[in-house]
Structure 1
């Protein structure tokens, strides 16, 4: 594949061929390529989404690994958060990429190689575009979640959690079992 000898535009991003072998984001027109998350990370994403979805109001839904356009202009920035809570109408419209105004929560699960980006760069970007809630999940034992809520255009701590976490998401209360994000499933045929 050949690349343009310039910063990419949002149209260049959209025209990229689909490739699930790596993780792609666009940062100020620069294509950022990383390895795909490994198994433990992927299982945590799936389990978090499964815990969140039934606790949300019908007006919201959970998505994983969707494109979030932070800046559509020149140069553009497109992030692909691990988990996103967006409007049910956006899900029904089958949006190929999301605008921040339609998103109430973004979750990043910390990985080697992205911790600083998640804690610093994305933290600032998500606040700047007005996403109300930002959660960071650390899968190192004990699994923990740090929650942030937007206050006056900046994120403020909304608590650090381990074990069972009760959080407020917009006007909803959600309860998460953080250890279950990484724990082995019990053997359904085994003795309980």
Structure 2
């Protein structure tokens, strides 16, 4: 973990640490980045003031050895930690992790991270699929396993820890002129 922390800042690629092995990927493409930003913008104002939204922030899944650190696309976390400017989050403190599916990440997001996030205790896990129509698959951790709580396209209303969140999934990918 100390080697991970000592890495220089580099925004030219995406980095994760999986069982002590550095995994390097290209940065997300433009559409993915826009969806990331728009989802965070829709989600943030609907959460209780006790929580906030971050994008592409480190989450310690397993401190190891060997350590695993993932970087979900969007997170909902306690506002207190944001105010403290934490550099990374313990998975136990993450309320929601969202992964936006990409060509090179679908299997990892649907299988590997699905298991890792559940084992780490992340209460809610969402997958956003950008294939038309843009869709959201939502899971809630119940008794240590993720259970499907909704599959949506168009408009979605999803519960996060007793807070009803409304999302316009079409607006995540639509043209501003459209």
Paired residues for 1:145-164 under 5 Å:
145-164=136-155
Q: Is the Cα contact below 8 Å between 2:52 and 2:77 reproduced in 1?
A: yes
Unaligned runs of 5+ in 2: none
Instruction: Report the aligned-residue RMSD.
Output: 0.8
Q: CA deviation at 1:102?
A: 1.3
Structure 1 segments (4+ residues) deviating >6 Å: none
CA distance in 2, matches of 1:76, 1:64: 21
Q: Report the structure number with the largest CA radius of gyration.
A: 1
Whether 1:95 and 2:86 are equivalent positions in the alignment is yes
**1:131 counterpart SS class:** coil
Unaligned runs of 5+ in 1: 1-9, 188-192
1:22 paired residue among 8, 13, 36: 13
Paired residues for 1:64-79 under 5 Å:
64-79=55-70
2:22 paired residue among 23, 26, 31: 31
Q: Is the Cα contact below 8 Å between 1:27 and 1:78 reproduced in 2?
A: yes
Q: CA deviation at 1:87?
A: 0.2
1:83 paired residue among 74, 83, 88: 74
Calculate the TM-score normalised by the size of structure 1.
Answer: 0.91
Q: CA deviation at 1:186?
A: 2.7
Whether 1:58 and 2:58 are equivalent positions in the alignment is no
CA distance in 2, matches of 1:119, 1:171: 25
Q: Is the Cα contact below 8 Å between 1:137 and 1:144 reproduced in 2?
A: yes
Q: Per-residue CA shift, 1:94-115, capped at 9, x if unaligned?
A: 0000011211000000001110
Q: Is the Cα contact below 8 Å between 1:60 and 1:87 reproduced in 2?
A: yes
> What corresponds to 1:126 in structure 2?
117
2:168 paired residue among 174, 177, 187: 177
Q: Per-residue CA shift, 1:10-52, capped at 9, x if unaligned?
A: 1000101111110100000000000000000000000000000
Calculate the TM-score normalised by the size of structure 2.
Answer: 0.99
Q: CA deviation at 1:73?
A: 1.8
